[in-house]
Chain A
Amino acid sequence: MSATWWAIIAATLGCYAAKIAGQSVPQRMLDRPLVLAISDALPVALLMALVAVQTFAVGQHLVLDARFAGLCAAIVALLLRAPFLVVVIVAAGVAAGLRTMGWAT
């Protein structure tokens, strides 16, 4: 089996472990202020880090290209309360348009 398959299996087991732990472990083990506060901050930190890296990184290099324009368009769409699919399509459309016009890479 390929490395990708092993990674899928490991990540899937890890995610399920979190789900079943919440249903099974005694309430007091997870219900602590510090644990709750960290788990509150985790999604925000990881998702924003992913936004930054996926917008500006190519491998280990930082670049400014059409993806940044796409992200700005996505933020405008979110401010206008657009649904998820619209946000994604707007971002892709802006990036694709800029590339077609030759205004960005």
Chain B
Amino acid sequence: MSATADRAVPPHWAEERREILTNALGVGVAVGAYGISFGAISVTGGLTVLQTQMLSALMFTGGSQFAFVGVLVAGGGAVSAIGTSVLLGVRNAFYGLTMAPVLRVHGLQRAVAAHLTIDESTAMAVGRSVEHDDGRASRFAFWATGLSVFVFWNLATLAGSLGAGALGDPRAWGLDAAIPAGFIALVWPRLRDRRSWTIGLCAAAVALVLTPFLRPGVPVLLTSVVAVIAGVLAVRDHVPSVEDYDDVATP
């Protein structure tokens, strides 16, 4: 790698650009798989095709979208659905924190950049060194991946929600089992050590114990207390915070 820090076009930029675009397309296509299941689960759960599409276009953060629909489908109230999805979206604030110094955008560009700040765009951007090219490749990876995922995620959502209407009884197709499978697949890359397993299993236990006593949706929301306790303990034990976009491939 060249160590020059000037703003001129870095050597091998054409190849690097092509490689970034290829990766961005690949990630977009892969994310489409989530989009299809999201569309299908949302519509069989009772949301309209338009509501489902609005979530993908305007909320545009997969974990929160799945949680929102999952809580509503389970009979949880609107407040629980909103709370759970927003809490899951909090991590995007920390992605923004990481990306802001690299992107250096203002006004409308910043508003769009914020919308595209998700797991994939951040992961692909932080995977590029910013030292040798003043962040050019990192910025390009962020925008290319963000836009690619946005397009594929929305197309896939539409395909899934239109296709789901033709299915009939969702239980006969096992679609109710697809929802927890989707969540375990989303959390899987984050379960990388004993600490994260402990947090996850404690939260699962708390949610199940509270289920008979509270409205659907509220037990899940209350497991954020487990996260707060885990955070306090981690700071006390000086556990370094893990950059959680490193190997997470969720929208």
Residue numbers of A with Cβ under 8 A of B are: 3-8, 10-12, 14-24, 27, 30-31, 33-34, 36-57, 59-62, 66-67, 69-71, 73-75, 78, 83-85, 87-97, 99-100
A-B contact pairs, 27 of them (CB 8 A): A3-B78, A8-B54, A8-B59, A11-B64, A15-B89, A18-B86, A20-B110, A22-B117, A23-B103, A30-B94, A36-B94, A37-B241, A40-B241, A44-B200, A46-B203, A46-B227, A49-B223, A54-B183, A66-B177, A67-B176, A67-B177, A70-B177, A84-B185, A91-B177, A95-B176, A96-B173, A97-B174
Residues of B within 8 A of A56 (CB): 208, 211
- 1-47 of chain B: CB within 8 A of chain A: 30, 33-34, 36-37, 47
Q: Are B204 and A15 in contact (CB under 8 A)?
A: no
- A10 to B241, alpha carbons, bound, how many Å? 30
Q: Are A91 and B208 in contact (CB under 8 A)?
A: no
Residues of B within 8 A of A46 (CB): 67, 84, 87-88, 203, 220, 223-224, 227
Say how far B145's CB is from chain A's closest CB, in angstroms: 15
Say how far A98's CB is from chain B's closest CB, in angstroms: 8
Contact partner of B203 (CB less than 8 A), chosen from A27, A44, A66, A95, is A44
Interface mask (B191-218 → A, CB under 8 Å = 1, otherwise 0): 1000010011111111110011111100
Say how far A97's CB is from chain B's closest CB, in angstroms: 8
Residue numbers of B with Cβ under 8 A of A are: 30, 33-34, 36-37, 47, 51, 54-55, 58-61, 63-64, 66-68, 70-72, 74-75, 78, 81-82, 84-97, 99-100, 103, 105, 110-111, 113-115, 117, 171-188, 190-191, 196, 199-208, 211-216, 219-220, 223-224, 226-228, 230-232, 234-235, 239, 241-242, 244
